[in-house]
Amino acid sequence: MREWEKDLDQKLLYALPVIVFGLMAIGFALYLAKDVLSKDQGTPGMQDISNRIFEGAIAYLNRQYRTIFILAIVVAILMGVLVAIFENSHQAERGIITSLAFLAGALLSGLSGFIGMYVAVKSNVRTAAAAQHGIGPALTIALRGGAVSGFLVMALGLMGVLGVYAVVYQFAEGDLSTVAETPFWIVGFAFGASFVALFAQLGGGIYTKAADVGADLVGKIEAGIPEDDPRNPAVIADLVGDNVGDCAGRGADIFESSTAEIIGAMILGVALYQASGGDPGSRDIAWIFFPLVVGAFGLLASMVGVLFVRPGAEVKDPMGELNKGFYVTAGLSFVFLTVICLTMLPEGGWQFAICGWIGILTSFAFVYITQYYTAGSWRPVKEIAEASKTGPATNIISGISVGFETTGLPAITISVALLSSYWLGESVDAFAGMADATISSGIFGTAVATMGMLMTAAYILAMDTFGPITDNAGGIAEMSGAPESVRAVTDELDSVGNTTKALTKGYAVGSASLAAFLLFSAFLDEIERFSGEAIVRVVNIAEPTVFVGGLIGATLVFVFSSLAIRAVGRAAGDMIEEVRRQFREDPGIMAGTSIPDYRRCVDISVRSALREMIAPGVLAITVPILVGVILKWEAAAGMLMVGTIVGVLMAIVLNNGGGAWDNAKKYIEAGFLKDAEGNVLGKGSEAHAAAVVGDTVGDPWKDTAGPSLHVLIKLLATITLVLAPLFV
Amino acid sequence: MREWEKDLDQKLLYALPVIVFGLMAIGFALYLAKDVLSKDQGTPGMQDISNRIFEGAIAYLNRQYRTIFILAIVVAILMGVLVAIFENSHQAERGIITSLAFLAGALLSGLSGFIGMYVAVKSNVRTAAAAQHGIGPALTIALRGGAVSGFLVMALGLMGVLGVYAVVYQFAEGDLSTVAETPFWIVGFAFGASFVALFAQLGGGIYTKAADVGADLVGKIEAGIPEDDPRNPAVIADLVGDNVGDCAGRGADIFESSTAEIIGAMILGVALYQASGGDPGSRDIAWIFFPLVVGAFGLLASMVGVLFVRPGAEVKDPMGELNKGFYVTAGLSFVFLTVICLTMLPEGGWQFAICGWIGILTSFAFVYITQYYTAGSWRPVKEIAEASKTGPATNIISGISVGFETTGLPAITISVALLSSYWLGESVDAFAGMADATISSGIFGTAVATMGMLMTAAYILAMDTFGPITDNAGGIAEMSGAPESVRAVTDELDSVGNTTKALTKGYAVGSASLAAFLLFSAFLDEIERFSGEAIVRVVNIAEPTVFVGGLIGATLVFVFSSLAIRAVGRAAGDMIEEVRRQFREDPGIMAGTSIPDYRRCVDISVRSALREMIAPGVLAITVPILVGVILKWEAAAGMLMVGTIVGVLMAIVLNNGGGAWDNAKKYIEAGFLKDAEGNVLGKGSEAHAAAVVGDTVGDPWKDTAGPSLHVLIKLLATITLVLAPLFV
């Protein structure tokens, strides 16, 4: 019996839930897709608009993913060559495997984004049609349509990591790679996911806001027509954009998070595997397979959660319905995680279980903090709305102040979660006295917390994609002239969707920050593996190069955000010109006698988004490489660490600041703002105009730069992980 | 002969230039003050307005400094007690000395701010009067009035440090303290300076922008009267505010920078003093006294520079005149520094001289980068002006994008300056092979660069205070109905003043960033001294507590900025209410028949500023203490380092973003912006209205939050330095 056959049983045992629940989740996604697609497609008017959105979405996906894959192939080859040159053993094999793993990660990320978005843009019209029968059916379709994306992302991510692991290990047949070494070989997969996510989120973010800002500035302000008016040539591009950013973009973001964090945690597990004895046929390898198993049970919990949301036709509190499903998912995750820790891990089951609880609680904390800062019921949004009374300047000052303030509570949450899970992990008796293992055990504690947080990801992503589906459904209802009752339903769901989108961003940034430490540690492990010496995990910021690395990491976040925000401005400018041109050349459009050329606007959005994502994209990839190559690994570690801290905080500022501006506008539109005499200052008031300015400023914050920063943070981690051999 | 007498000669030699040039500078400041005060005070109308400004300024200074000193006494006592409890030798003495040094630093900072501002508000009317005779005389008065502040700040700072050093050493009489240990005893002085600077800059920043924003929003927008209209009750408060922020605030900022950096550099010198042999009677002590000597020669260079600016009545390029003085100062600094390094330092004269040149070049680089981003001749400001065509939202988006972008070049400059001066210092042969001394020598290289940058500080500060003086002169000319020719002169000088104010901020942030590393190292030295063990200067960000410290440091910057920005909004709200009340209750004001109650507006500004500075002030002081006490010194070091990085970058964003918005507005007002058909979009256009919104948003950025961050950064350093014994 060869070595790899000997320990097959134990590994198969751990692989089993991943395969079973992974396949189940894919089947479930297909079932949901079929279920949604079988539903009523609504009136011909609705179908017409939906078809235009669909066409636009496919046009975007084709062009965007073609570009990404050409870039990916170039990067894969370059990276493979570099790794092959700089690695110190099995050079050719490592180079090839890294390239192929990279392509696999890129491909699966692209695939799950593609299918998820395909179903999402098919679900919108069905949601609009179902809205004719009440809020319950519409809510169910939108959630299930969104869940397709959620489950594909998580299942393909999990199974992809397992598959790459299995192939590498198999291929190695005990010659090249061992159980313990394989996780280091597959980091290319996570980088592939990061690579696609960077461009999907950046391109998607630019696309969606260029269309939105462009449509608004010409339509609402210059031409004086309402939002979602079919006379506006940019309206279809705007509706396509909702999917592009929140469905495809966020899906790629979460695909990246989950795969990077799982592979990072597997790398961390290696140290504990070795400290426990390092017998590949025993439960020792649980340390390495743990993240995969937890992820698999997270899928199960999320499936149950989705199935739990079965409202009747009348729903009083649609957000409550979605929350019900989330609580079921979180509750089951809590139970599963505890059982897994206690039965699977050879040591410290209780300590690590509590770490997992901390992770789940952290996700709740982030969700509540996000709500506090971005929902109209609390002080921050009210403050911005009040400030709108004295005009746009005070609205902006107030919004920026709120945005900056929103970093406080999340930072405290992260600090508490990180330190407590680290100390719990460190306290596991079995590793006491083994200096390195104690540290690894502590960091593994933070990894378990991260995994706990990730368990609900499929459900969270379903709620997120619920957003663009209901948003589109509202647009379709509006544009097809559906009766008021239908629009009331879609409006209500749309507002719920705005909340879920904001919460998902909070969740994404929370998981990114909790994972920061684990990915950083994985990088140090990789440096140790490569250099072959114990560097005792010291990254000394008292060294000038490390300080400079940190400075550059922080600066990268600012400059990247600047480029992302500017990209929206420039792409929106292209859109504005095109809309003006159409209005000028065909007066029939405004008169309602001729149909505008929607397709051209979609096309322009696609092209501008592709063009504008290049500068920030190139910056994000080259700066870490330059720092690592010129200033070496310790400086790269400083860059990674400080870049992550600043990136997380800046993402929080941009996401929450943008969300707060958005909802301050909605607060005013809902008639909650009153002047000193008690008169309502609603739509059409000066205060409303000021709030619209704030909302527009917030658009590129919350939908372009903020989410792109999530991706940037993890890209920094995966790129340094993959290219570590160049930095020593 | 007792020990302190034995080595008196060498020390006296080094103290001599400090005493001589320090006294000369004070005499020079008094001479300039007398000279300025002897000048023509202008028309009765001018005098009336000037007297009102003077009254308002004195009211502010009295109330502000009384509050600060009550707080300072409380803090001094608390700090003394804490130090006495936690110190491990000479507890009572250390406690008392720290308290007294703190009070001395606070007192001298306050004194230089008080006198400087006194002369500044007396200079404004004389500048206005001199403007009747041409631009040259007015420029001379404004620069000389400003120079009073510049020389007092630098001379009192230098002599204060020397004096406290001498007293402690004398008091010790060889029993308690040695040459080498004394620098550690006097850190309280720097903290005292920081403490006053925090409140002076925060309070001053809030005051000035509350008055400015409040006056503008009611006056320009609601009442439709121009800026500096005597009918606006807030107009005097606005003019007082210019002095409060840019003269008293910036003076305290530079006083803090110079004393903290000098004391920090002296602490660093201790290690080299010991490595060189540690003979207190020999040139070894040059390492400790070097920063003082350099500072003294910087005063000399600046005096010559000021005297060099003697324009005739007709001046074509007033900025060029001021630059001439600056080039003279910088050139002399270059020469002096080289001579000092070569003759005074026992080792590595050339290497350290080049480090000093790097510092001087860095100050030039910062000045040019600031100009590029904030002056109308280049891409960034033009971009914002162009974006104003599509309304306030795009103006703001563009301004934020530019603000974020401005971090890039400064970060590269700092990185290059820091690494090159470190490597040069490290390369000094004499310390090769002595691990600790090599590092100290490298860090001393960065300290010399910082000192090189500081040499021009007195001149820079003179140019800065030139700003509020000319700004006030413009207001006085406007309000007293001076003829057009006079206003043309003051307008031109005012615009030069805007530039010098922006440059000073660039300079201040540049010096803060260059000094960050040296202050951080001084903190590590202090930890080593206190703990009595070599910690080999390791601050490991791979430790979770250090990471969390860094996270908290970065968050502190965001939340502090949020509070500072919000404070302006709230204080401006108070002002708006008061102005509205006066307009409502006395219709004679708008008719021009009765004089508004200026004093009440001044009073309200003072009170709101004092109230609003409490929250950010308390945050800035308590957070570092909490981190240090709870998470210990290494986490405090992480907080200091990451907090400094983020603080520097954020200050750059806020200063330059605000400056760019301001000048985009001016660019439009000057008629440079044209529409597609080539028509000028000037004052009164939609684009101008949009640019006004951007300017208002930029006000609290560039004049409150940004400058307060300079202070915060150094406060973090001095507070951790003083309280280091609590953190071990």
pLDDT at B527: 86
For helices B250-275 and B435-454, the axis angle rounded to 10 degrees is 150
Q: What are phi and psi of A674, to 5 degrees?
A: -130, 150
Q: Which of A236, A157, A252 is CA-nearest to residue A203? A: A252
pLDDT at B725: 86
Residue B3: is its pLDDT beyond 60?
Answer: no
| Number of alpha carbons in the 13 Å side-chain half-sphere of residue B270 | 23
How far is residue A685 CA from its own chain's centroid? 36
Residues B581/B585/B590/B596 CA torsion (nearest 10 deg)? -70
Q: Do B548 and A407 make contact, defined as CB atoms within 8 angstroms?
A: no
Residue B630 near residue B727, CB atoms below 8 Å:
no
Q: Positive or negative CA dihedral for B110, B116, B119, B123?
A: negative
Please report residues of A whose CB lies closer than 8 A to that of B407.
555, 558-559
Nearest CB partner across the interface for A545, out of B407, B419, B544: B419
Task: Write down the pTM of the prediction.
Answer: 0.95
Range among A484-488, B87-91, B159-163 rated most confident: B159-163
B 408-437 residues with CB below 8 A of A? Answer: 408, 411, 414-415, 418-419, 422
Share of chain B above pLDDT 90, in %: 57
Q: Among A498-512, B538-552, B633-647, whose mean pLDDT is lowest?
A: A498-512
How far is residue A126 CA from its own chain's centroid? 26
**Residue bearing the bigger pLDDT, B557 or B244:** B557
Give, as one character, the DSSP assignment of residue A674: B
Q: For chain B, give the longest Cα–Cα distance.
A: 87
Q: Kindly give the residue spans of alpha helices, DSSP state H, lying in B427-483.
A: 435-454, 457-479
Amino acid, single-letter form, for residue B591 = A
pLDDT at A1: 39
| Number of alpha carbons in the 13 Å side-chain half-sphere of residue B422 | 20
B 338-377 residues with CB below 8 A of A? Answer: none
Q: Among A590-594, B162-166, B667-671, whose mean pLDDT is lowest?
A: A590-594
Residue B469 near residue B146, CB atoms below 8 Å:
yes
Q: Give CA angle at A680 (A674, A681), nearest 5°.
A: 80
pLDDT at B639: 95
Tell me the C-alpha to C-alpha distance, in Å, between residue B301 and each of A171, B151, B326, B505, B677. 73, 11, 10, 21, 52
Q: Do A392 and B394 make contact, defined as CB atoms within 8 angstroms?
A: no
**Residue bearing the bigger pLDDT, B321 or B176:** B321
pLDDT digits (tens, 9 = 90+) for A667-716: 999 899 998 888 999 888 889 999 999 999 999 999 999 999 999 999 99
| A434 band by pLDDT with thresholds 50, 70 and 90 | confident
pLDDT digits (tens, 9 = 90+) for B99-120: 999 999 999 999 988 888 888 9
Please report residues of B whose CB lies closer than 8 A to that of A525.
none
Please report residues of B whose CB lies closer than 8 A to that of A392.
392-393, 396, 693
Residue B354: is its pLDDT beyond 50?
Answer: yes
Q: Do B403 and A562 make contact, defined as CB atoms within 8 angstroms?
A: yes
The predicted model gives B3-15 an average pLDDT of: 69
Q: Do A217 and B391 make contact, defined as CB atoms within 8 angstroms?
A: yes
Q: Which of B249, B240, B147 is CA-nearest to residue B466? A: B147
Tell me the C-alpha to C-alpha distance, in Å, between residue A528 and each of A169, A184, A436, A541. 21, 11, 12, 19
Q: Among B80-94, B324-338, B426-440, B545-559, whose mean pLDDT is lowest?
A: B426-440
pLDDT digits (tens, 9 = 90+) for A220-236: 777 778 878 888 889 99
Task: Flag whether residue A627 sits within 8 Å of chain B, measured between CB atoms.
Answer: no
Query: How many interface pairs between A and B have CB atoms less than 8 angstroms apart?
Result: 224
Please report residues of A whose CB lies closer than 8 A to that of B221.
391
Q: What is the 3-state secondary structure (H, E, C) of B353-396?
A: HHHHHHHHHHHHHHHHHHHHHHCCCCHHHHHHHHHHHHCHHHHH
The predicted model gives B384-404 an average pLDDT of: 94
Please report residues of A whose CB lies closer than 8 A to that of B540.
537-540
Distance (Å, whole) CA B30 – CA A388 = 49
Report the residue of chain B nearest A397, measured CA to CA.
Answer: B697
Tell me the C-alpha to C-alpha distance, in Å, between residue A408 and each of A413, A561, B30, B285, B447. 9, 20, 47, 46, 33
Q: Among A100-109, A214-223, B500-509, whose mean pLDDT is lowest?
A: A214-223
Per the listing, tokens 């911005």 go with A384
pLDDT at A573: 85
- Average per-residue pLDDT for chain A: 90
The predicted model gives B461-469 an average pLDDT of: 92
Report the residue of chain A nearest B562, measured CA to CA.
Answer: A401
Residue B6: is its pLDDT beyond 70?
Answer: no
Q: Give CA angle at B190 (B184, B195), nearest 5°.
A: 135
Please report residues of B whose CB lies closer than 8 A to that of A637.
541-542
B 688-707 residues with CB below 8 A of A? Answer: 692-693, 696-697, 700
**Residue bearing the bigger pLDDT, A620 or A116:** A620
How far is residue B637 CA from its own chain's centroid? 23
Distance (Å, whole) CA B512 – CA B710 = 7
Nearest CB partner across the interface for A408, out of B419, B540, B555: B555
Distance (Å, whole) CA A648 – CA A657 = 14
pLDDT at B129: 94
B 654-673 residues with CB below 8 A of A? Answer: none
The predicted model gives B118-123 an average pLDDT of: 91
Residue B190: is its pLDDT beyond 90?
Answer: yes
The C-alpha of A395 sits at a distance from chain B's nearest C-alpha, in angstroms, of 9
pLDDT at B1: 39
Q: Positive or negative CA dihedral for A220, A226, A232, A237?
A: positive
Distance (Å, whole) CA B598 – CA B221 = 19
Distance (Å, whole) CA A122 – CA A36 = 8
- Average per-residue pLDDT for chain B: 90
pLDDT at B172: 65
Tell me the C-alpha to C-alpha distance, in Å, between residue B267 and each of A100, B157, B162, B274, B350. 55, 17, 14, 11, 22
Q: Which of B330, B284, B296, B285 is CA-nearest to residue B151? A: B296
The predicted model gives B623-646 an average pLDDT of: 94
Share of chain A above pLDDT 70, in %: 97
Please report residues of B whose CB lies closer than 8 A to that of A411.
551-552, 554-555
Q: Do B407 and A558 make contact, defined as CB atoms within 8 angstroms?
A: yes
| B462 band by pLDDT with thresholds 50, 70 and 90 | very high
Tell me the C-alpha to C-alpha distance, in Å, between residue A89 and each of A84, A86, A323, A625, B301. 9, 9, 51, 22, 61
| A651 band by pLDDT with thresholds 50, 70 and 90 | very high
Taking residue A534's Cβ as centre, other Cβ atoms within 10 Å add up to: 9
**Residue bearing the bigger pLDDT, A531 or A497:** A497
Task: Flag whether residue B47 sits within 8 Å of chain A, measured between CB atoms.
Answer: no
Per the listing, tokens 């202008």 go with B42
Rounded-to-5 percentages of helix, strand, coil across chain A: 85, 0, 15
The strand pairing partners of A680, in sequence order, are: A674
Q: Do A544 and B422 make contact, defined as CB atoms within 8 angstroms?
A: yes
Q: Among A5-9, A83-87, B290-294, B462-466, whose mean pLDDT is lowest?
A: A5-9
Report the residue of chain B nearest A396, measured CA to CA.
Answer: B697
Q: Among B179-183, B321-325, B716-720, whose mean pLDDT is lowest?
A: B179-183
| Number of alpha carbons in the 13 Å side-chain half-sphere of residue A106 | 26
Rg (CA), chain A: 25
* Cβ-count burial A595-627 (b if 16+ within 10 Å, e if not): ebbbebbbbbbbebbbebbbbbbebbbebbbeb
Find all residues with CB under 8 Å of A199, minimum gap 6, and list them: A64, A67, A68, A71, A613, A617
The C-alpha of A275 sits at a distance from chain B's nearest C-alpha, in angstroms, of 20
- What is the value of ipTM here, to two decimals? 0.94
Report the residue of chain A nearest B400, measured CA to CA.
Answer: A562
Please report residues of B whose CB lies closer than 8 A to that of A390.
217, 576
**Residue bearing the bigger pLDDT, A435 or B290:** B290
B 205-244 residues with CB below 8 A of A? Answer: 213, 217, 221
Task: Flag whether residue B531 sits within 8 Å of chain A, measured between CB atoms.
Answer: no
Q: Do A641 and B550 make contact, defined as CB atoms within 8 angstroms?
A: yes
